[in-house]
Amino acid sequence: MDVNFCWWNLKNFKKQIDLVQNKYLDTICDIIINKKITLFGFGEIDLSFLQRLTTMLNAKTHYYKYHFIESLNNHPKILCDIGFIYQESIINADSLKNIIQIHGDKTIRLAGQTKLTINKTNIVLFLIHWHSQRNDYTIREEIGSLFYQHLLAPYNSKKKSTQIILMGDFNFEPFSRPLSTGILGSRDRCLCINNRSYFYNPFWRKMGAIKIYNGTELDQKYGTYYFSKKGETTSWYTYDQAFFSGNFLSNGKWILQENKLTILENKNINDLFFTIKKCDHLPIFFQINSRRKQ
């Protein structure tokens, strides 16, 4: 059994004009249908987006019905709403709980947390949209450690069978301190299998060009996020990622299919990115499947 996940930060969808909103909705419906998405997480959306998308999608798919769960602002200082839609014939999802942390005079949403039940097994899912580069540096540097301390560490003392996925817009690259030493995200599969404290991050390999240079064609995309003001070495960053507990690589009931993990691109996405220029993140895709009994 294959279960397909997607994440996309929609760049403040509710403030986009109708033309751009409709383009987004059509593009997302096409991705869901063509890639057979089971769960799609979103950043920078509102409730009306999820309602419109679900209505459109259910009108287009006669065999599968989708449901949505939102994590709306329940604190005046929390911005950038997150939520997801899912195929309810395959997944049963708990409500998306906002995990709020007070840090000095700052209020931070560490994640939206939910429990997914798929084929009578449970997966803990964290949807994440952390502070951008424009926000307070100190908080940004501490957020990985806060996230691990309050949300991930407690699972180390529980049954090792708990499977955990983190996905979203972290606003950090894989090598950054908040991700590598904060939440213990690693590219070392063996380390993640042997030490439950670490989480596997396959997006280390997604920090270069999406397409390998063939001698003639230069790729335009070199990560998941484009910032128009050039940094010291690049305008592209791999901010949108997914992390997996080590049992997705070894003895878990669900196994990561890393060969299916990708940064999505097609004509519609390129139009939003390069023609209309109302998109600055690319969607990510990954697949897990159930372990076959030996």
Domains of the chain: 2-290 (3.60.10.10)
Q: Is 45 helix (H, G, I), strand (E, B) or coil?
A: strand
Neighbours of 5 (CB within 10 A): 22
The total of other beta-carbon atoms located within 10 Å of residue 127's CB is 24
Determine the angle formed by the axes of helices 18-35 and 47-60, rounding to 10 degrees: 50
By mean pLDDT, which of 33-42, 205-214, 271-280 is the weakest? Answer: 205-214
Percent of the chain at pLDDT above 70?
89
- Phi/psi for 269 (5° steps) reads -65, -40
pLDDT band per the 50, 70, 90 thresholds, residue 294:
very low
CA 274 to chain centre: 22
- As to burial, measured by CB atoms within 10 angstroms (0-12 exposed, 13-18 middle, 19+ buried), residue 38 is buried
Q: Could you tell me the pLDDT band of residue 217, with boundaries at 50, 70 and 90?
A: low
- Average pLDDT of the segment spanning 131-137: 65
Among positive and negative, which fits the CA dihedral 70, 19, 87, 55?
Answer: positive
CA–CA distance, 249 with 68 (Å, rounded to integer): 29
Q: Is 228's pLDDT higher than 80?
A: no
Q: What is the mean pLDDT of residues 33-59?
A: 93
Residues in the chain, total: 294
Q: Which of 174, 173, 169 is nearest to 199 (CA)?
A: 174
Q: Is the pLDDT of residue 149 over 70?
A: yes
In this prediction, residue 85 has a pLDDT band, given cuts at 50, 70 and 90, of: very high
Token pair of 12 as six digits = 């403040």
Contact by Cβ (8 Å): 87, 76:
no
239 vs 226, which has greater pLDDT? 239
Residue 242 — φ and ψ, nearest 5°?
-140, 135
Strands (E), 104-161: 106-118, 121-129
Tell which residue, 243, 72, 38, 252, has the closest CA to residue 147: 243
Beta strands 284-290; 2-9: pairing state:
antiparallel
Task: Tell me the whole-structure pTM to 2 decimals.
Answer: 0.92
